[in-house]
Amino acid sequence: MKTALLAGTHSGCGKTTLTLALLQYFRQQRHDILAFKAGPDFLDPLWHQAITGKPSYNLDTRMMGADACRAQLGQQAERAEFALIEGVMGLFDGYAGVGGAGSSLDLAREVGCPVILVIDAGGMSGTIAAVATGFKQLAEQGGVLLAGIIANRVGSEYHAGLLREALKAYDLPPLLAWMQRSDQVLAERHLGLKMPEATTIPDYSAALHVDHAALLSAFPALTFEAPAAPKQPQLAGKTIAIARDQACCFIYPANLDWLSRHGAKPVFFSPVAGDAVPEEADAIWLPGGYPELHAEALADSASWASLRALADAGMPILAECGGAMLLGKALVDAQGRHWPMAGIFPYVSRMQPRLAALGLREEAAGVKGHEFHYSTREQDEGLAPAFDVSQGDSGVRHRNVRASYVHWYFTDANQCIAGWFGADD
């Protein structure tokens, strides 16, 4: 699979916009392409999928580990000729240090692919050579090749020519493409971009100018090995009911793959639509999403009766972030309105104007995940913790119901996850 990572000099330089523009370009040129996303982000992959028509998988050397990143690429390698990985933050930004674990540079190094660098060239001409020199040298020190530059917010063809010649004069990676200055911006809300179906995906074809041959040359053909199937699927014969709708939409595609590889059959239902939990369910998964945007429909959801009955009967239930908000007594939105929820737990989830928590989390058994939310949980005193974490939300537990703000990433290396869904020890 011909693979490259699109990185930025910093957050806000136009990395996501250029990713979407390039995906559109590859599709228009009739090249089969897959997208991936560095880091634990849920929203960017949904935008990728809206263009490619294929799930976009996360790659994160800290949350998943390098071996799992390579295995994920190997698992998808038969599905496309090209792979474009959208980086996270700036190229060298990660958990700690310069180019350390979780950074785009670390991911490129571990999977062995080159980097294409997005530079915001607004108000810049010769300075692009200085910026590219620094990034090229430090990337090479980290064992990563800088294969080319894409300039964003370029004023004109003349401006692009100045940038191109400045790079050439200092024998730097070439200008592969440039995006002219535009007022086409992606709509955002408090968790990042809006969902693709909530707005219009801009057509960037008129604004993106590509050196086709140079761009394709920045994608070397790489070989990745697919992971072996589990010798003993731990969820064989079990049906997992998964909430999937506008309120429960933060689902790592790799988690669905993990359930299937371990023998589980996924079935889906919608709390927003008031669906009952499917009768054949052996366990339930309530992923995160935007329950606060659908609080009125959820307040009257007919899903709660079956969910409460199954929770009281001891069915295994895993609820993450927005999914955990559904299980409380009420949700208080940003306007202070109270909306009743399932009432399995006595807590109230209250939306806040500022970010309440952010960071990677790890359970004592080794399962890793990500916490990122704008609500807080109130009136949960005296409830048993659901997870053993050294940092972040330990959640709450009632019988076999586990709820917390953490979005867990399922991995083959940990039997603990199968236990959350009722697998035998």
- Write out the catalytic residue numbers: 321
What is the C-alpha to C-alpha distance for residues 289 and 175, in angstroms, rounded to an integer? 38
Q: How many residues does the chain have?
A: 425
Strand partners, 38: 59
Distances (CA, A) of 401 to 135, 137, 175, 312: 48, 51, 53, 9
SS3 205: coil
Residue 243 CB contacts under 8 Å (≥ 6 apart), including other chains: 268, 269, 270, 271, 284, 285, 286, 287, 323, 326
Q: Which tokens is 199 given?
A: 């707005």
| 105: Cα separation from own chain's centroid | 17
φ/ψ bin of 237: left (φ > 0), alpha (ψ from -120 to 50), beta (otherwise): left
Phi-psi region of 281 (alpha: psi -120 to 50; beta: other; left: phi over 0): beta
Q: Which has the closest alpha carbon to 423: 259, 274, 231, 303?
A: 259
Do β-strands 57-59 and 82-90 pair in parallel, antiparallel, or remain unpaired? unpaired
Determine the Cα angle at 34 with ends 31 and 38, to 5°: 140
Q: What does DSSP assign to residue 344? A: S
Give the distance, in angstroms, between the CA of residue 336 and the centroid of all CA atoms in the same chain: 29
